[in-house]
Amino acid sequence: MPSRLTPVRPKKLGDLVIQQIQEKISLGVFPAGSKIPTEPTLMAQLGVGRSTVREAVRVLVSAGLLEVRQGDGTYVLDRRSGHEPLEYRLRRAKAEEIREVRRIVEVETARLAAKNRTPADIAAMREHLEKKREAIHAGDTHGYVAADIAFHSAVAAASGNSLLADIYRSFTMVFQDFLDSLIADRGVNQYQDRIHTGLLDAIAARDAEKAVAFAMEALDRTSDDAKALGED
């Protein structure tokens, strides 16, 4: 088995700028109706170029958080009149908030999957677990994370609740970069195969309580790894 892992994708500079501005809006530092700092001020405070600031503002305008008034400046919109996509809201959430919501979503997802899964759902989960194992042997970090997310998405689909599955997919857009970094720093976590195999077997056996137990163990392990890396 190759000893080296493949490079992870660095977080884009623009994403970090977006995250900081979103956080200021969320905390009320930039309240609704107020004008955010000028482009030159943001460039100086954030230590980035003009193009990065403009791209961040463009994304936040599209998300319904900001409004550009030509010749005047950029203003924070009242959230009641905006439509912030869930992905953006998740990106400015605190680590503890993410963990709490994940526990609610993933535990109930496991419970419903054990109740509603179909043979096709089980086959899809098995396929993604096998791809995870292949990625481990190939030393492919990103492939491992992609297969891991695909496995959990298949569990969400097996719940039979399309809204729950959509919410989980929104979560995965936030977790991808974090999991890449976590696995690259800690190594591929050997306990994951045991937990996910147990989760799959419990769902296949329609054992909801055992499925919930494995889902909770997976969350606890990931949380412990994140704390060890100082991600909180």
Residues 167, 124: one domain?
A: yes
Check which CATH number belongs to the domain holding 158 and give it: 1.20.120.530
pTM of the model: 0.64
Check which CATH number belongs to the domain holding 31 and give it: 1.10.10.10
Domain final position from 60, 83, 106: 83
Residues 169, 137: one domain?
A: yes
Residues 76, 106: one domain?
A: no
Residues 104, 55: one domain?
A: no
Confidence of residue 64 (pLDDT cuts 50, 70, 90): confident
- For the chain, percent of residues with pLDDT exceeding 90: 42
pLDDT of residue 159: 95
Residues 192, 171: one domain?
A: yes
Three-state DSSP at 151 gives helix
Interval 123-157: pLDDT, tens: 999 999 999 999 888 888 888 888 988 999 999 99
Residue 123 is encoded by which pair of tokens?
Answer: 């086959």
pLDDT of residue 26: 77
Residues 35, 121: one domain?
A: no
Query: Which 8-state DSSP code applies to residue 205?
Result: T
Examine residue 7 and state whether it is found in any structural domain, yes or no: no
Range of 133's domain?
A: 93-228
213 burial class (0-12, 13-18, 19+ CB within 10 angstroms)?
middle
Q: Which residue has the higher pLDDT, 189 or 14?
A: 14
Domain final position from 54, 83, 112: 83
Total number of domains in the chain:
2
Task: Give the pLDDT mean for 59-85.
Answer: 81
Residues 64, 113: one domain?
A: no
pLDDT of residue 84: 62
d(CA 145, CA 40): 38
